[in-house]
Amino acid sequence: MTKTKFLYRFLILGLLCAGEMLLAQRHQRDIDYIRKHAVYAVEEMHLYKIPASITLAQGIHETGGGQSRLADLANNHFGIKCKNEWTGPTISHDDDAKGECFRKYASVHESYRDHSLFLAERPYYKDLFRLRLTDYKGWANGLKRAGYATNPRYPQLLISKIETYDLHQFDVIQVSEVHDKLVSLYGQVERSVTDPYYDPFSEQETQVATVPTRQQEQERQETRKMEVPKRMVNARARILRHPIGREYIEVMPGETIHQIAKLYKVDETRLMRNNDLDDPTKLRAGQYLFFAPKRNRGSMSRYTVQRGDNMYIISQKAGIKLNQLYRRNRMSVGEEPQIGEVLYLRGTKPRRR
Protein backbone atom coordinates (compact mmCIF):
# COMPACT_ATOMS: atom_id res chain seq x y z
CA MET A 1 0.00 0.00 0.00
CA THR A 2 1.42 3.36 -0.99
CA LYS A 3 1.75 6.18 1.49
CA THR A 4 -0.85 8.23 -0.40
CA LYS A 5 -3.45 5.42 -0.26
CA PHE A 6 -2.77 4.90 3.42
CA LEU A 7 -3.27 8.60 4.20
CA TYR A 8 -6.44 8.64 2.08
CA ARG A 9 -7.95 5.66 3.94
CA PHE A 10 -6.91 7.14 7.28
CA LEU A 11 -8.61 10.39 6.36
CA ILE A 12 -11.82 8.60 5.31
CA LEU A 13 -11.84 6.55 8.51
CA GLY A 14 -11.34 9.71 10.56
CA LEU A 15 -14.22 11.45 8.82
CA LEU A 16 -16.52 8.47 9.38
CA CYS A 17 -15.64 8.34 13.09
CA ALA A 18 -16.18 12.09 13.42
CA GLY A 19 -19.53 11.77 11.69
CA GLU A 20 -20.63 8.97 14.00
CA MET A 21 -19.58 11.00 17.04
CA LEU A 22 -21.58 13.98 15.82
CA LEU A 23 -24.65 11.80 15.24
CA ALA A 24 -24.32 10.29 18.71
CA GLN A 25 -24.00 13.73 20.28
CA ARG A 26 -27.06 14.97 18.36
CA HIS A 27 -29.03 11.88 19.41
CA GLN A 28 -28.17 12.40 23.08
CA ARG A 29 -28.92 16.12 22.84
CA ASP A 30 -32.39 15.39 21.45
CA ILE A 31 -33.09 12.83 24.19
CA ASP A 32 -32.00 15.33 26.84
CA TYR A 33 -34.44 17.82 25.32
CA ILE A 34 -37.30 15.30 25.45
CA ARG A 35 -36.54 14.45 29.07
CA LYS A 36 -36.69 18.11 30.10
CA HIS A 37 -39.81 19.10 28.19
CA ALA A 38 -42.06 16.06 27.76
CA VAL A 39 -44.15 17.04 30.80
CA TYR A 40 -44.98 20.40 29.23
CA ALA A 41 -45.90 18.75 25.91
CA VAL A 42 -48.24 16.21 27.53
CA GLU A 43 -49.76 18.88 29.78
CA GLU A 44 -50.50 21.10 26.77
CA MET A 45 -51.93 18.11 24.88
CA HIS A 46 -54.56 17.55 27.57
CA LEU A 47 -55.41 21.24 27.72
CA TYR A 48 -55.45 22.08 23.99
CA LYS A 49 -55.68 18.72 22.14
CA ILE A 50 -52.37 19.09 20.30
CA PRO A 51 -50.41 15.80 20.11
CA ALA A 52 -47.46 15.82 22.50
CA SER A 53 -45.39 14.09 19.82
CA ILE A 54 -45.93 17.00 17.42
CA THR A 55 -45.09 19.60 20.07
CA LEU A 56 -41.89 17.78 21.08
CA ALA A 57 -40.82 17.17 17.48
CA GLN A 58 -41.33 20.84 16.65
CA GLY A 59 -39.40 21.88 19.74
CA ILE A 60 -36.47 19.60 18.89
CA HIS A 61 -36.41 20.72 15.26
CA GLU A 62 -36.87 24.45 15.84
CA THR A 63 -34.24 24.64 18.61
CA GLY A 64 -31.75 22.07 17.36
CA GLY A 65 -32.34 20.08 20.53
CA GLY A 66 -32.45 23.17 22.72
CA GLN A 67 -29.27 24.73 21.31
CA SER A 68 -30.64 27.54 19.13
CA ARG A 69 -30.07 31.22 19.73
CA LEU A 70 -33.80 31.85 20.08
CA ALA A 71 -34.12 29.13 22.72
CA ASP A 72 -31.04 30.30 24.60
CA LEU A 73 -31.72 34.05 24.63
CA ALA A 74 -35.50 34.23 24.33
CA ASN A 75 -36.91 30.87 25.54
CA ASN A 76 -38.55 30.70 22.11
CA HIS A 77 -38.77 26.97 21.31
CA PHE A 78 -41.09 27.10 18.31
CA GLY A 79 -39.77 29.90 16.13
CA ILE A 80 -42.89 32.00 16.64
CA LYS A 81 -42.55 35.47 15.16
CA CYS A 82 -44.03 38.60 16.71
CA LYS A 83 -47.12 39.05 14.51
CA ASN A 84 -49.30 42.14 14.93
CA GLU A 85 -50.99 41.12 18.19
CA TRP A 86 -47.82 40.45 20.20
CA THR A 87 -47.21 43.08 22.90
CA GLY A 88 -44.59 41.23 24.95
CA PRO A 89 -40.78 41.32 24.79
CA THR A 90 -39.10 40.67 21.45
CA ILE A 91 -35.76 39.63 19.99
CA SER A 92 -34.30 40.31 16.55
CA HIS A 93 -33.18 37.22 14.65
CA ASP A 94 -32.24 36.36 11.07
CA ASP A 95 -34.64 33.84 9.50
CA ASP A 96 -36.42 34.16 6.16
CA ALA A 97 -35.19 37.75 6.17
CA LYS A 98 -32.51 39.58 8.15
CA GLY A 99 -33.40 40.98 11.58
CA GLU A 100 -36.94 39.59 11.87
CA CYS A 101 -38.98 40.11 15.04
CA PHE A 102 -39.48 37.04 17.24
CA ARG A 103 -41.31 36.61 20.53
CA LYS A 104 -39.31 36.49 23.75
CA TYR A 105 -40.60 34.57 26.79
CA ALA A 106 -39.86 34.64 30.48
CA SER A 107 -39.74 30.83 30.67
CA VAL A 108 -39.82 27.69 28.53
CA HIS A 109 -43.24 26.87 29.97
CA GLU A 110 -44.56 30.19 28.66
CA SER A 111 -43.21 29.34 25.21
CA TYR A 112 -45.03 25.99 25.23
CA ARG A 113 -48.27 27.66 26.31
CA ASP A 114 -48.00 30.33 23.61
CA HIS A 115 -47.38 27.62 21.02
CA SER A 116 -50.65 25.96 22.06
CA LEU A 117 -52.54 29.24 21.88
CA PHE A 118 -50.90 30.10 18.55
CA LEU A 119 -52.37 26.95 16.98
CA ALA A 120 -55.67 26.86 18.86
CA GLU A 121 -56.69 30.47 18.25
CA ARG A 122 -55.90 30.84 14.52
CA PRO A 123 -58.59 29.81 12.01
CA TYR A 124 -56.13 28.42 9.45
CA TYR A 125 -55.15 25.65 11.90
CA LYS A 126 -58.73 24.67 12.80
CA ASP A 127 -58.77 21.61 10.50
CA LEU A 128 -55.91 20.10 12.50
CA PHE A 129 -58.13 19.83 15.57
CA ARG A 130 -60.48 17.51 13.69
CA LEU A 131 -57.69 14.93 13.52
CA ARG A 132 -57.11 12.27 16.15
CA LEU A 133 -54.40 12.96 18.71
CA THR A 134 -52.67 9.79 17.53
CA ASP A 135 -52.55 10.94 13.88
CA TYR A 136 -49.13 12.58 14.06
CA LYS A 137 -48.57 12.22 10.31
CA GLY A 138 -51.79 14.10 9.59
CA TRP A 139 -50.76 16.84 12.02
CA ALA A 140 -47.27 17.13 10.52
CA ASN A 141 -48.61 17.50 6.97
CA GLY A 142 -51.42 19.77 8.13
CA LEU A 143 -48.99 22.19 9.78
CA LYS A 144 -47.13 22.57 6.49
CA ARG A 145 -50.35 23.08 4.51
CA ALA A 146 -51.49 25.73 7.00
CA GLY A 147 -48.24 27.64 6.53
CA TYR A 148 -46.48 27.00 9.84
CA ALA A 149 -43.12 26.51 8.08
CA THR A 150 -41.66 27.33 4.65
CA ASN A 151 -39.41 24.26 4.44
CA PRO A 152 -41.06 21.83 1.96
CA ARG A 153 -39.64 18.88 3.96
CA TYR A 154 -41.08 20.11 7.25
CA PRO A 155 -43.60 17.21 7.63
CA GLN A 156 -40.90 14.60 6.94
CA LEU A 157 -38.55 16.24 9.44
CA LEU A 158 -41.19 16.10 12.19
CA ILE A 159 -42.25 12.54 11.37
CA SER A 160 -38.62 11.42 11.39
CA LYS A 161 -38.10 12.86 14.89
CA ILE A 162 -41.30 11.27 16.15
CA GLU A 163 -40.45 7.82 14.83
CA THR A 164 -36.76 7.96 15.77
CA TYR A 165 -37.56 8.73 19.41
CA ASP A 166 -40.97 6.99 19.68
CA LEU A 167 -42.58 10.30 20.58
CA HIS A 168 -46.01 8.99 19.57
CA GLN A 169 -46.02 7.05 22.85
CA PHE A 170 -46.51 10.36 24.68
CA ASP A 171 -49.80 10.90 22.82
CA VAL A 172 -51.61 8.24 24.84
CA ILE A 173 -50.46 8.92 28.42
CA GLN A 174 -51.30 11.22 31.31
CA VAL A 175 -48.95 13.81 32.81
CA SER A 176 -48.41 11.60 35.85
CA GLU A 177 -47.05 8.83 33.59
CA VAL A 178 -44.42 10.90 31.78
CA HIS A 179 -41.46 10.09 34.04
CA ASP A 180 -42.02 6.34 33.84
CA LYS A 181 -42.42 6.55 30.07
CA LEU A 182 -39.14 8.47 29.75
CA VAL A 183 -37.35 5.83 31.82
CA SER A 184 -38.76 2.98 29.72
CA LEU A 185 -37.78 4.67 26.44
CA TYR A 186 -34.41 6.25 27.21
CA GLY A 187 -33.14 4.77 30.46
CA GLN A 188 -33.03 5.81 34.08
CA VAL A 189 -33.11 9.52 34.88
CA GLU A 190 -33.73 11.56 38.02
CA ARG A 191 -37.28 12.82 38.49
CA SER A 192 -35.91 16.30 39.20
CA VAL A 193 -34.77 16.39 35.53
CA THR A 194 -38.06 15.23 34.00
CA ASP A 195 -40.61 16.89 36.27
CA PRO A 196 -40.63 20.71 36.58
CA TYR A 197 -43.19 20.37 39.39
CA TYR A 198 -41.07 17.92 41.37
CA ASP A 199 -41.05 18.60 45.11
CA PRO A 200 -38.32 16.61 46.92
CA PHE A 201 -39.83 17.53 50.27
CA SER A 202 -43.20 15.92 49.50
CA GLU A 203 -41.47 12.73 48.30
CA GLN A 204 -39.40 12.61 51.46
CA GLU A 205 -42.48 13.05 53.61
CA THR A 206 -44.25 10.22 51.77
CA GLN A 207 -41.38 7.80 52.26
CA VAL A 208 -40.63 8.56 55.91
CA ALA A 209 -43.27 7.17 58.27
CA THR A 210 -41.84 8.57 61.49
CA VAL A 211 -42.81 12.00 62.79
CA PRO A 212 -39.84 14.41 62.50
CA THR A 213 -38.38 15.87 65.67
CA ARG A 214 -38.82 19.58 66.39
CA GLN A 215 -35.21 20.20 65.36
CA GLN A 216 -35.61 18.25 62.09
CA GLU A 217 -38.79 20.15 61.25
CA GLN A 218 -37.09 23.48 61.99
CA GLU A 219 -34.14 22.55 59.76
CA ARG A 220 -36.53 21.50 56.98
CA GLN A 221 -38.44 24.77 57.17
CA GLU A 222 -35.21 26.78 57.12
CA THR A 223 -34.07 24.89 54.00
CA ARG A 224 -37.36 25.71 52.29
CA LYS A 225 -37.08 29.38 53.19
CA MET A 226 -33.62 29.46 51.63
CA GLU A 227 -34.74 27.67 48.47
CA VAL A 228 -37.69 29.86 47.47
CA PRO A 229 -35.88 33.20 46.95
CA LYS A 230 -33.28 31.53 44.67
CA ARG A 231 -36.00 30.37 42.27
CA MET A 232 -38.04 33.53 42.60
CA VAL A 233 -35.65 35.69 40.57
CA ASN A 234 -38.38 37.59 38.72
CA ALA A 235 -41.84 37.49 40.26
CA ARG A 236 -43.54 38.84 37.13
CA ALA A 237 -41.90 36.22 34.92
CA ARG A 238 -43.68 33.47 36.85
CA ILE A 239 -47.13 34.69 35.86
CA LEU A 240 -48.80 32.61 33.12
CA ARG A 241 -52.16 32.93 31.40
CA HIS A 242 -54.55 30.02 31.74
CA PRO A 243 -56.87 28.98 28.87
CA ILE A 244 -59.80 30.41 30.87
CA GLY A 245 -58.17 33.85 30.49
CA ARG A 246 -57.00 34.23 34.09
CA GLU A 247 -53.43 34.85 35.25
CA TYR A 248 -51.90 32.33 37.63
CA ILE A 249 -48.62 31.05 39.04
CA GLU A 250 -47.42 27.59 40.00
CA VAL A 251 -46.72 27.35 43.71
CA MET A 252 -43.10 26.59 44.59
CA PRO A 253 -41.97 24.25 47.36
CA GLY A 254 -42.13 25.99 50.74
CA GLU A 255 -44.24 28.95 49.60
CA THR A 256 -47.18 30.11 51.68
CA ILE A 257 -50.26 32.14 50.87
CA HIS A 258 -48.89 34.94 53.02
CA GLN A 259 -45.59 35.04 51.09
CA ILE A 260 -47.31 35.02 47.70
CA ALA A 261 -49.81 37.70 48.70
CA LYS A 262 -46.99 39.91 49.94
CA LEU A 263 -44.81 39.27 46.87
CA TYR A 264 -47.58 40.15 44.40
CA LYS A 265 -49.18 42.84 46.57
CA VAL A 266 -52.62 41.20 46.61
CA ASP A 267 -55.09 40.76 49.44
CA GLU A 268 -54.46 37.45 51.20
CA THR A 269 -58.15 36.81 51.93
CA ARG A 270 -59.14 37.51 48.33
CA LEU A 271 -56.35 35.24 47.05
CA MET A 272 -57.69 32.40 49.17
CA ARG A 273 -61.26 33.05 48.05
CA ASN A 274 -60.24 33.11 44.36
CA ASN A 275 -58.68 29.68 44.82
CA ASP A 276 -61.33 27.98 47.00
CA LEU A 277 -58.93 27.79 49.93
CA ASP A 278 -60.52 27.73 53.37
CA ASP A 279 -57.25 26.86 55.09
CA PRO A 280 -53.87 28.41 54.06
CA THR A 281 -52.02 25.25 55.10
CA LYS A 282 -53.76 23.30 52.31
CA LEU A 283 -51.64 25.06 49.66
CA ARG A 284 -49.53 22.50 47.77
CA ALA A 285 -46.31 22.86 45.74
CA GLY A 286 -46.97 22.60 42.00
CA GLN A 287 -50.64 23.60 42.14
CA TYR A 288 -52.04 26.54 40.18
CA LEU A 289 -52.88 29.70 42.12
CA PHE A 290 -55.14 32.26 40.41
CA PHE A 291 -55.08 36.02 40.95
CA ALA A 292 -58.69 36.45 39.82
CA PRO A 293 -61.81 34.32 40.39
CA LYS A 294 -62.00 31.08 38.46
CA ARG A 295 -64.87 30.50 36.05
CA ASN A 296 -68.08 28.50 36.29
CA ARG A 297 -66.86 26.11 33.62
CA GLY A 298 -63.45 24.66 32.81
CA SER A 299 -60.96 25.15 30.01
CA MET A 300 -62.09 21.95 28.26
CA SER A 301 -65.24 19.84 28.17
CA ARG A 302 -63.95 16.69 29.92
CA TYR A 303 -61.11 15.69 32.22
CA THR A 304 -59.79 12.20 32.94
CA VAL A 305 -58.75 11.78 36.57
CA GLN A 306 -55.04 11.01 37.03
CA ARG A 307 -53.07 9.48 39.86
CA GLY A 308 -52.61 12.07 42.62
CA ASP A 309 -55.67 14.11 41.60
CA ASN A 310 -58.48 15.20 43.87
CA MET A 311 -61.42 17.50 43.22
CA TYR A 312 -59.55 20.55 44.45
CA ILE A 313 -56.44 19.93 42.32
CA ILE A 314 -58.63 19.26 39.26
CA SER A 315 -60.58 22.49 39.82
CA GLN A 316 -57.27 24.39 39.87
CA LYS A 317 -55.90 22.67 36.77
CA ALA A 318 -59.06 23.37 34.81
CA GLY A 319 -59.73 26.85 36.24
CA ILE A 320 -63.24 25.93 37.36
CA LYS A 321 -64.79 26.88 40.69
CA LEU A 322 -64.77 23.94 43.06
CA ASN A 323 -68.49 24.08 43.83
CA GLN A 324 -69.26 24.13 40.09
CA LEU A 325 -67.06 21.08 39.54
CA TYR A 326 -69.06 19.20 42.17
CA ARG A 327 -72.36 20.43 40.75
CA ARG A 328 -71.58 19.57 37.12
CA ASN A 329 -70.63 16.03 38.13
CA ARG A 330 -73.57 15.51 40.53
CA MET A 331 -71.16 14.83 43.39
CA SER A 332 -71.47 15.73 47.07
CA VAL A 333 -68.93 18.14 48.58
CA GLY A 334 -66.06 16.07 49.95
CA GLU A 335 -66.64 13.17 47.56
CA GLU A 336 -63.58 12.23 45.49
CA PRO A 337 -63.37 10.64 42.00
CA GLN A 338 -61.59 7.45 40.99
CA ILE A 339 -58.47 7.28 38.79
CA GLY A 340 -59.60 7.07 35.17
CA GLU A 341 -63.04 8.55 35.86
CA VAL A 342 -64.16 11.21 33.38
CA LEU A 343 -65.35 14.47 34.92
CA TYR A 344 -67.49 17.09 33.19
CA LEU A 345 -66.07 20.62 33.13
CA ARG A 346 -68.76 22.00 30.84
CA GLY A 347 -72.38 20.92 30.80
CA THR A 348 -73.66 18.48 33.41
CA LYS A 349 -72.93 14.79 33.78
CA PRO A 350 -75.98 12.74 32.74
CA ARG A 351 -77.89 10.99 35.48
CA ARG A 352 -77.43 7.28 35.81
CA ARG A 353 -80.41 5.28 34.62
Alpha helices in 75-213 (DSSP H): 108-120, 136-145, 154-164, 178-186, 191-194, 200-207
CA atoms of 68 and 83, how far apart (whole Å): 21
Does position 203 have pLDDT exceeding 60, yes or no? no
Report how far residue 23's alpha carbon sits from residue 39's, in angstroms, rounded to the nearest whole number: 25
Give me the percent of the chain exceeding a pLDDT of 90.
44
Name residue 110's amino acid: E
- What integer pLDDT is reported at residue 4 of this predicted model? 65
Averaged pLDDT for residues 126-130: 92
pLDDT of residue 205: 39
DSSP state of 81: B
Task: Examine the pLDDT at 276 and tell me if it is beyond 70.
Answer: yes
| Mean pLDDT value of segment 164-176 | 92
Q: What is the pLDDT of residue 353?
A: 62
Question: pTM score, two decimals?
Answer: 0.57
Q: pLDDT value at position 234?
A: 63
Taking a C-beta distance cutoff of 8 angstroms, is the pair 95, 24 a contact? no
For 306-337, the pLDDT digits (tens) are 888 899 999 999 999 999 999 999 999 889 99
Determine the average pLDDT of the residues in 245-257.
87
Mean pLDDT (the chain, rounded): 83
pLDDT at 271: 92
| pLDDT tens sequence across 280-300 | 888 888 899 999 999 998 878
**CA 237 – CA 107 distance, rounded (Å):** 7
Give the integer Cα–Cα distance in Å for 308 and 205. 15
Nearest to 256 by CA among 235, 230, 279, 223: 279
268-294 in b/e form (b: 16+ CB < 10 A) is eeebbebbbbeeeeebebbbbbbbeeb
pLDDT mean over 255-276? 90
The Cβ of residue 260 has, within 10 Å, a number of other Cβ atoms equal to 21
Closest CA to 163 of 59, 23, 56: 56
